Amino acid sequence: MIGKIFCILTSSSFAFALVSGKMNELSAAVLSGAADAAALCISTLGVMCLWSGVIGVFDGVGVTALIAKVVRPILKYIYPTAHKTGVGIDEIAANFAANLLGLGNAALPFGLSAMEKLSELEKKYPDSHDMLTFAVMNTVPFQAFPTTLIALREAAGSQNPYDIILPIYLCSFATIIFAALVCRLCAAAKKTKRHG
């Protein structure tokens, strides 16, 4: 699927650039895009290492397991197999907590290690949908405070840059519920296809 999406993106870009004579812009975009990707990787390297280090300490000392214990009752319904077997549930919980606190930089390494554990889980339990569910749930954020957005609104001269916060909470909440439902439905549809 990822491959298909990139094929469509790049080939349609080529076609459009050819037709509208924007080949120069296109080649400039390719070069600057590759350079910016490397720059992004380097500029986030420090924070990534820092948080991975903190996570290493948290795992060793037992903070991760403690967080997992607290949020596990909520996650039980979304990730049944991980909850039952205990594989990856600590990482999922830590990722969830980091997202909730607005620590996006910490959420990513937790999320990636959760994916590792969940892909192992999927090999053992092919009927489990926890990895796919986790990936989909991670495309819906639950930011405690949308800093960048508020800053942008303030800079644009908004009368009240904060008045969108409550609607955002409402919308996020509705979207999260909807995402969990969609995952459940997809999992159920696949199961009946396999067994029935």
Partner 1 sequence: MAFSKKDTVSMFLGGCREGIKTSFGLLPTLIMLIVAVRMFSASGALDALCNASLPLCKLLGIPQEMLPVAIMRPVSGSGAIATIKQLFDTSGPDSSAGRTASVLMGSSDTILYTLSVYFSHVGAKKTGYAFPASFTVMIFCIAASCVITRYAFMP
Q: Taking the mean position of all CA atoms in its chain, how far away is CA 29?
A: 26
From 69-77, 80-88, 166-174, give the range in contact with partner 1 by CB under 8 A.
Answer: 166-174
Answer whether 64's CB lies under 8 Å from 86's CB: no
Listed in sequence order, the residues at least 6 apart from 24 whose beta carbon sits closer than 8 Å to its beta carbon are: none
From 38-46, 71-79, 83-91, give the range in contact with partner 1 by CB under 8 A.
Answer: 38-46
Per CB under 8 A, contacts with partner 1 among 62-121 are 62, 108-109, 111-112, 115-116, 118-119
Q: Which tokens is 117 given?
A: 């554990």
Instruction: Pick between residue 73 and residue 113 the one whose CB is nearest to partner 1.
Output: 113
126, 160, 193, 196: which one binds partner 1 (CB under 8 A): 160
**Shortest Cβ distance from residue 1 to partner 1 (Å)?**
5
Query: Considering the rule CB under 8 A, would residue 14 count as an interface residue with partner 1?
Result: yes
Q: Which tokens is 136 given?
A: 């989909």
From 23-31, 67-75, 77-85, 86-94, give the range in contact with partner 1 by CB under 8 A.
Answer: 23-31
101, 144, 174, 188: which one binds partner 1 (CB under 8 A): 174
Per CB under 8 A, contacts with partner 1 among 119-138 are 119, 129, 131-132, 135-136, 138
36, 84, 101, 124: which one binds partner 1 (CB under 8 A): 36
Q: What is the DSSP string of the chain?
A: -HHHHHHHHHHHHHHHHHHHT-HHHHHHHHHHHHHHHHHHHHHHHHHHHHHHHHHHHHHHHTHHHHHHHHHHHHHHHH-HHHHHH-SSHHHHHHHHHHHHTT-HHHHHHHHHHHHHHHHHHHHH-TT--HHHHHHHHTTS---S--HHHHHHHHHTT-S-TTTTHHHHHHHHHHHHHHHHHHHHHHHHHHHHHHH-
65, 100, 103, 168: which one binds partner 1 (CB under 8 A): 168
Size of the site for partner 1 (CB under 8 A): 90
**Shortest Cβ distance from residue 73 to partner 1 (Å)?**
24
